[in-house]
Amino acid sequence: MASVADVELEMKRVLSQDPSELFQAAWYLISTGGKRLRPRLLLAFNDVFGGDPERAIRAAASVEMLHNFTLIHDDIMDRDETRHGVPTTHVKFGEPIAILAGDVLQSESQLEMARAVEGLPMRRAMAVLKRHAIITTDIARGQTLDMRSELMDYDGVGVRFYYDMIRLKTAVLFAHACWTGAYLAGASSKFADAAKSFGLNLGMAFQMADDILGLVGDPQVTGKPVGSDVRNGKKTLPILIAIKNLRGSERGSLLEKLKARDPSAVDLIVKGGGIEETRSSMSKFKRQAESALQSMPSGPALDEVRALLSSAVVREK
C-alpha cells in the first residue's frame, strides 16, 4: 500500500534537477510540510478500487506539485510573507525565481501525470490528462474571482459569488484528486463521479473551516492573530452572513470596522450568526460528501476516506 512518504520521495526525486537554485525553490514550500490532504485522498480512493500503488504515487505527486504551484503564485499575488510559519518562496528566493519555480511545478506536474497514465487504455489515459490540464484553468478562474472580490464593497459580494469562488479556487482540486484516484484504479464512471462529488463537497467544507479559523482560531495553533481575515480584508462566508443578517446601526458598524480592517469586527460577526451559520453550511457539505460514499466498496480504504473527511472539517489549523 502506498503512503504519503512515498509521494514525498517521488516529488523530491522529480525536483532534484539543475539549476539547483530553481529546483530548490520549487521543492522549498513542499519541504516545509502541510496536510497533504489531496495526495492522501487520491491514494485512499486508489486503494478503495484496488489500483496500482506505483501509478497512484505518481498521480498523487502530480496533484501535490500542482497544488504547490498555485500556492507560490498566490503568495506572490497576495504579497504574503509567511506560509507554514516560514518565509514564502518569493521572500526567500526572490520573486523572479519564485515565479519560475511555480512554472516548474506546473510543468513537472503535467509530466508526472503523463507517467502515471502510461500503459492505460488510450481513452482512460486521455481523460485523466485532459482533466488535469483543465484543473489549472479552473483554479486560475477562482483566483481571478478572489482578486475581483478585493475590489468590491463588502455588501456587494454575495454568498453565491463566494460559493463560485471557493468551488473553483479550492474545491475543484480536491474533487480532481478523488476522481483521479478512483479512475486510475479502474473505477467505473459512476464511481469516479461519486468520488469527484465527495471531493467537491469536502473542498467546500474545508474552505469554510478555514474561514472560521481565520476569524476565531486559536492564534497559538493557527499561527495567525484572532480576526486575521478581517485584518487582511478577506470576504469570507462568516463575514458575508453577518452583513446579511445584521440590521441598522449594527450592520453599519460592522461595515465600518471591516473597511477599517479592525479585528474587533469579529464580535459583530459572531453576533450576526456568521460563525454559527457557516458551521451549519459546513455540516451540510460534509453530509453531502458522506452520501457520495454510500454505494462504494466497504473496507479499511473507505474508512480512511471517511477519516480524511473528518480531519478536513474538524480541525484547529
pLDDT digits (tens, 9 = 90+) for 194-234: 999 999 999 999 999 999 998 987 766 666 666 888 988 89
Q: What pLDDT, on a 0 to 100 scale, did the predictor assign at position 94?
A: 97
Asked if 213 contacts 131 with a C-beta cutoff of 8 angstroms, the reply is: no
The whole-number pLDDT of residue 223 equals 63
How far apart are the C-alpha atoms of 10 and 7, rounded to whole Å?
A: 5
pLDDT of residue 258: 95
What was the pLDDT predicted at 270? 95
pLDDT at 224 (0 to 100): 67
Please give the residue range of the domain that contains residue 160: 4-313
pLDDT of 82 reads 85
pLDDT of residue 317: 72
- Which pLDDT belongs to residue 79? 86
CATH code of the domain covering residue 92? 1.10.600.10
Provide, rounded to the nearest whole percent, the portion of the chain with pLDDT above 90. 86
- Give pTM, 2 decimals: 0.95
d(CA 132, CA 116): 12
pLDDT along the chain (317 residues), means of 10: 94 97 97 94 98 98 98 91 90 97 97 97 96 95 92 90 96 98 96 98 96 82 74 92 96 95 94 96 97 95 96 83
pLDDT at 218: 72
pLDDT of res. 222: 64
Structural domain count, the chain: 1
Q: What pLDDT score was predicted for residue 84?
A: 81
